[in-house]
A and B are shown apart, each in its own frame.
Chain A
Amino acid sequence: MSTTSSQHVQNLVDHLFRHEAGKMVAVLTRLLGTENLDAAEDIVQDTLLKAMEVWRFRGVPENPPAWLYKVAHNKAIDWVRSAQRKSKLLAEEEKVKSSLNLLRSEVVYQED
């Protein structure tokens, strides 16, 4: 293998994983809110791992940043959905808890 071609690919990967990763975190943070920086970083990390798994056997796609953004975007949507589900569940739990409390206080009231 010519070292230049191998070096070229290595440089491309370095560039994508260093620079593009930072940009992706910034884009995702804007999408998810600054309070969810951790989630944005996790999603980007996941996306890069996925890229390595898949590109290894399929080769690096024609437009690597587009591929990365598409995967990260889908993962972000999944994250938002599951966060929504979780907060809905939490809200349900709160509702149940407060009705239980209400019930309890009524029971106590009746016992009085």
Chain B
Amino acid sequence: MLIFHGGSDVAPEMKNPEALQKHMGKWFAWVEKLRKEGRYEGGEPLEPRGKFVSGPNKIVTDGPFAESKELVGGYFIVNAKDLDDAVALTADYPDFIFNGKVQIRPIQKMEM
């Protein structure tokens, strides 16, 4: 699983519609490439709002907030042999230029 933190979601440059469209084109091309290679399994965008519930008292707090630099904007599920292979798949991640970060996590497989 590739979890995308920050990047173009919080980049002020993306307020410009032309720049936004151009940059999103890079994302579309990246998904398309992963799909063609049989690597892309699925993905979803996350809305920039939410709640935290924590502790034994189930305290509800606001956040994460849209301005947060670490906000998770969405995720991909990809096919990869191992972590190194998954790292290689992020080569075309378009948000590195906006200091975006990709968290790479293997999904635990249930062996039956």
- What residue in chain A is nearest B22 (Cβ atoms)? A10
Beta-carbon contact of A1 and B43 below 8 Å: no
Beta-carbon contact of A59 and B31 below 8 Å: yes
Beta-carbon contact of B32 and A5 below 8 Å: yes
Beta-carbon contact of A1 and B20 below 8 Å: no
Beta-carbon contact of B29 and A10 below 8 Å: yes
Beta-carbon contact of B76 and A57 below 8 Å: yes
Total contacting residues, chain B, CB less than 8 A: 25
User: Interface with B: A34-42, A48-56, A66-74, which one?
Assistant: A48-56
Beta-carbon contact of A59 and B32 below 8 Å: yes
Q: A-side interface residues toward B, CB under 8 Å?
A: 1, 5-6, 8-10, 12-14, 17, 48, 52-60
Beta-carbon contact of B24 and A55 below 8 Å: yes
- What residue in chain A is nearest B20 (Cβ atoms)? A52
Q: B-side interface residues toward A, CB under 8 Å?
A: 20-22, 24-33, 35-36, 40, 42-45, 73-76, 92
Beta-carbon contact of A1 and B29 below 8 Å: yes
Interchain CB contact (< 8 A) of A13 among B28, B31, B33, B35: B28
- Given the contacts A52-B20, A56-B45, A1 and B40 also touching, CB distance less than 8 Å: no
- Given the contacts A52-B20, A54-B45, A59 and B92 also touching, CB distance less than 8 Å: no
Can you list 22 A-B pairs with a CB-CB distance of less than 8 A?
A1-B30, A5-B32, A5-B36, A6-B26, A12-B28, A13-B24, A14-B21, A14-B25, A52-B21, A54-B45, A55-B27, A55-B31, A57-B27, A57-B31, A57-B43, A57-B73, A58-B43, A58-B45, A59-B32, A59-B40, A59-B43, A60-B28
